Structure 1
Amino acid sequence: MNKIILIGNLGRDPEMSYTQNGTAVTKFTLAVTRRYGKSASGERETDWFNIVAWNQLAETCNNYLKKGQKVYVEGRLEQRKFTDKEGQNRTAIDVIINEMEMLTPKNQQPSSSGSDSYGGSDDLGELDDHPF
């Protein structure tokens, strides 16, 4: 069985495109922060995931999700091979989702004014440093 469930914050606005046969595909990154260590507050580490949605779910993600929002996603892992800018062969792991639920309350949604601010307290690191 290949199944993954994640709760995290969007690292950037979703980007939607269409395949040659007209199928909608939307991609975005998801930052999932976890605590570790023995202290009460715990140290934090953020893992980044490449998220891919298809068809109607792709359109929903593109229309309603924004950078910084907290979401629940469920899907499967899929490996993708590519060649980077330096000509090196690489492998990326994408999360192909089949379920998505918005968790950020409506009154706390990021504004649509194009602000790049992230409303959470988790350290997401430099967003441009993450591939996708």
Structure 2
Amino acid sequence: MNNVVICGRLCKDPELRYIPGSGTPVATFTLAIDRDYKNKDGSTTTDFIPVEIMGKPAEFCANYITKGRLVGIQGSIRVDRYETPEGEKRNFTKVAGRIIKALEYKKQTDESNNGSPSQFSAVDDDDVPF
């Protein structure tokens, strides 16, 4: 079984290209994901995971997902093997995404967008009992 679910923030806007011949859209980007522990000095380590998504989800990424957005990806781990011009064999590991979900609303740059809030919160912090 090869299944992965990751959540992180985009390091830069997705790059969209089309496969020659079939015209299938392919979006590539990198997610920044903090590890769930802190180092001795109190800092956290961040992993940068390359992601590739094909088809309609790729077009969604190109149109609606931008740098800094928090997203969830479901897919599988892929290992590409290639050889450099010098003859060295290399491996490149990435996530081949099937499903992408935006996990937060796009932040508004100004409050003039029909009075819509710049952030969405399902729960008011003052109402939380702990």
Specify the TM-score bucket, using the shorter chain as the normaliser. 0.7 to 0.9
2:54 aligns to what? 54
Deviations 1:81-103 (A, max 9, x none): 23458663221111011111111
1:122 aligns to what? none
TM-score, length of structure 2 as denominator length = 0.73
Q: 1:75 to 1:34 in 2, by over 3 A?
A: same
- Is residue 29–residue 50 contact of structure 1 (8 Å, CA) maintained in 2? yes
**SS, match of residue 50 in structure 2:** strand
Q: 1:32 to 1:38 in 2, by over 3 A?
A: closer
Compare 80-89 and 91-100 and name the one that shifted more. 80-89
Question: Gapped runs of 5+ residues in structure 2?
Answer: 111-130
Q: 1:105 to 1:85 in 2, by over 3 A?
A: farther
How many residue pairs get aligned? The number is 109
2:4 aligns to what? 4
Q: 1:56 to 1:8 in 2, by over 3 A?
A: same
Q: Quote the Cα distance in structure 2 between the aligned partners of 1:96 and 1:109.
A: 30
- Is residue 78–residue 95 contact of structure 2 (8 Å, CA) maintained in 1? yes
Q: 1:38 to 1:61 in 2, by over 3 A?
A: closer
Deviations 1:17-47 (A, max 9, x none): 11112111110000111232488x9531111
Percent identity of paired positions between Structure 1 and Structure 2: 33
1:94 aligns to what? 94
Q: Quote the Cα distance in structure 1 between the aligned partners of 2:104 and 2:72.
A: 10
Q: CA RMSD in A?
A: 2.5
TM-score, length of structure 1 as denominator length = 0.72
- Runs of 4+ aligned residues of structure 1 deviating over 3 Å after TM superposition are 83-88
Q: Quote the Cα distance in structure 2 between the aligned partners of 1:5 and 1:86.
A: 36
